[in-house]
């Protein structure tokens, strides 16, 4: 039995597994190894750095903060599944996961817990393109995770770093309920605003005039730990009334999420992953913007605005100023995060479809997997509505 400390005095006990080094069925070309616990998982990932491709939410910097701060708060065990090509020893695929007990079922998910945007595998240099080889890799992964009852890999893009996501070829793929929102800026932000049309450009110019009229207009990136702590505290204050008014989940109210976010803002800034911005008027922070930068793309995590500054459209101003900051540094892609919102549509976003992979490994998990499959496919077909309602009534009692 394998035991891993998941914090708060709790321990996760994994069922006995045949070592993947010894059990190579059905494809001896690939070896799958499983590393449980934050220390082992992070050490294994650090050991294979080089030639890996992922979204920003599967990088070593992100996972280090996530595994150490958030995973223990939810009694979730970090798990890293590494598939290597046996002849060369090079990495083919890595899955950064969390393992939790859910209603007597052991569930494996991407390391997310609502703190990140996208899920996805980490692609290695020896990942094959042939579907037959990908099937062998996936069978090897499943064989190494015999202790898992249900696998839920959510919010995966179709491409990762310009390469096709191999998991989208597996059975159990359905469209996710949300999508990404991408803006690509051409040679300059001025050109981008011009292409948005005269009405939008005039509105932006009006907001800039109002901002300057308030006095002492200032936009800056938090560079020091002290600045990051101060701006992040303001971000929390600005998010609270907005989420409360809309009935949304105030995720930053939870101590573990606050600690995670503040550490990400400080440590992630030093590592070049996270960026935290503030927009000031007359000496007061009127808007805050927090996100991560990876592969020439800035992805927004949180946007906060002051309650009494709506006449400035401060959220739009802080985003445009951030675009200017990044375009000057060669970053031209801006992901405004998951879900639909009028604020995002105003920027002319391109929606990026995302996908979920649901696999039942145990007979008791089959109904839950079918429910999620029907839920996903309903987004594309109305013919499954009756079956979906039947299952929904069962699982939402």
Instruction: Taking each helix axis as running N to C, give the angle between helix 366-378 and helix 385-395, from 0 to 180 degrees, rounded to the nearest 10.
Output: 130
Are both 261 and 172 inside the same structural domain?
no
336 found inside a domain? no
Same domain, 208 and 260: yes
Rounded to the nearest 5°, which phi and psi values hold at 275?
Answer: -135, 130
Together in a domain, 22 and 106: yes
Q: Does the structure show a pLDDT above 90 at 322?
A: yes
Say yes or no: 59 and 173 in one domain. yes
Residue 10 pairs with which residues in a beta bridge? 7
Given this model, what pLDDT does residue 104 score? 82
CATH of the domain at 81: 3.40.630
Same domain, 33 and 164: yes
- Band the pLDDT of 103: cuts 50, 70, 90: confident
* Residue 153 and residue 103 in one domain: yes
Q: Is the domain of 140 the same as that of 64? A: yes
Domain assignment of residue 197, yes or no: yes
3-state secondary structure 335-390: ECCCCCCHHHHCCCCEEEEEEEEEEECCHHHHHHHHHHHHHHHHCCCHHHHHHHHH
130 is written with which tokens?
């042939």
Residue 362: pLDDT above 50? yes
224 within some domain:
yes
316 within domain boundaries? yes
**Are 23 and 141 in a shared domain?**
yes
Is 168 found in the same domain as 31?
yes
The count of domains in the chain is: 2
Kindly state whether residue 376 falls inside one of the protein's structural domains. no
Same domain, 88 and 156: yes
Residues 103 and 190 placed together within one structural domain of the fold: no
Helices 225-246, 255-270: axis angle to 10 degrees equals: 140
With respect to residue 199, please indicate whether it lies within any of the assigned structural domains.
yes
What are the pLDDT digits (tens) for 34-93?
Answer: 999 999 999 999 999 989 999 999 999 999 999 999 999 888 999 999 999 988 889 999
> Where do runs of H (alpha helix) occur along the chain?
38-47, 60-65, 131-144, 189-195, 198-214, 225-246, 255-270, 314-327, 342-345, 366-378, 385-395
Spatial distance between the Cα atoms of 217 and 210, rounded to a whole number of angstroms = 10
Q: Cα(369)–Cα(149) distance, rounded to whole angstroms?
A: 10
Bigger pLDDT: 165 vs 269: 165
Domain encompassing residue 118:
2-177+354-361
Q: Give yes or no: residues 278 and 195 share one domain.
A: yes
pLDDT digits (tens, 9 = 90+) for 217-265: 999 999 999 999 999 999 999 987 554 333 334 566 788 888 999 999 9
Task: Tell me if 7 is assigned to some domain.
Answer: yes
pLDDT at residue number 26: 44
Residue 125 belongs to a domain: yes
- Could you tell me the CATH number of the domain that includes residue 285? 3.40.630.30
């Amino acid at each position: 039995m394998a035991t891993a400390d998941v914090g708060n005095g709790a321990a996760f006990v994994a069922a006995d597994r045949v070592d993947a080094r010894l059990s190579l069925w059905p494809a001896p070309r690939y070896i799958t190894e499983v590393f449980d616990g934050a220390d082992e998982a992070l050490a294994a990932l650090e050991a294979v750095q080089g030639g890996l491709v992922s979204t920003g939410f599967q990088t070593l910097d992100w996972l280090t903060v996530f595994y150490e701060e958030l995973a223990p708060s939810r009694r979730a065990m970090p798990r890293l599944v590494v598939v290597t090509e046996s002849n060369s020893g090079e990495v083919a695929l890595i899955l950064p996961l969390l393992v939790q007990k859910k209603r007597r079922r052991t569930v494996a998910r991407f390391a997310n817990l609502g703190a990140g945007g996208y899920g996805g595998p980490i692609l290695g240099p020896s990942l094959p393109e042939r579907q037959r080889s990908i099937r062998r890799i996936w069978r090897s992964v499943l064989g190494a995770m015999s202790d898992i009852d249900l696998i839920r890999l959510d919010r995966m893009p179709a491409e990762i770093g310009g390469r096709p996501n191999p998991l989208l070829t597996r059975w159990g793929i359905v469209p996710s309920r949300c999508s990404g929102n991408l803006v690509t800026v051409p040679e300059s932000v001025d050109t981008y605003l011009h292409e948005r049309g005269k009405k939008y450009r005039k509105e932006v110019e009006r907001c800039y005039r109002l901002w300057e009229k308030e006095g002492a207009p200032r936009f800056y990136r938090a560079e020091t730990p002290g600045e990051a702590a101060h701006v992040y505290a303001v971000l929390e204050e600005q998010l609270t009334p907005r989420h409360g008014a809309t009935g949304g989940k105030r995720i930053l109210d939870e101590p573990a999420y606050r600690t995670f976010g503040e550490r990400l803002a400080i440590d992630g800034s030093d590592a070049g992953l996270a960026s935290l911005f503030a927009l000031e008027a007359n000496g007061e922070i009127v808007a805050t913007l927090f996100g991560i930068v990876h592969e020439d793309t800035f992805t927004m995590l949180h946007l906060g605005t002051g309650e009494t500054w709506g006449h400035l459209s401060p959220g739009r101003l802080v985003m445009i100023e951030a675009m200017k900051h990044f375009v000057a540094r060669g970053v031209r892609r801006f992901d405004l995060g998951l879900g639909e919102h009028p604020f995002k549509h105003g920027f002319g976003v391109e929606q990026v479809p995302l996908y979920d992979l649901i696999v039942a490994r145990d007979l008791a998990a089959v109904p839950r997997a079918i429910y999620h499959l029907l839920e996903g496919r309903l987004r594309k077909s109305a013919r499954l509505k009756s079956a979906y309602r039947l299952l929904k009534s069962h699982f939402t009692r």
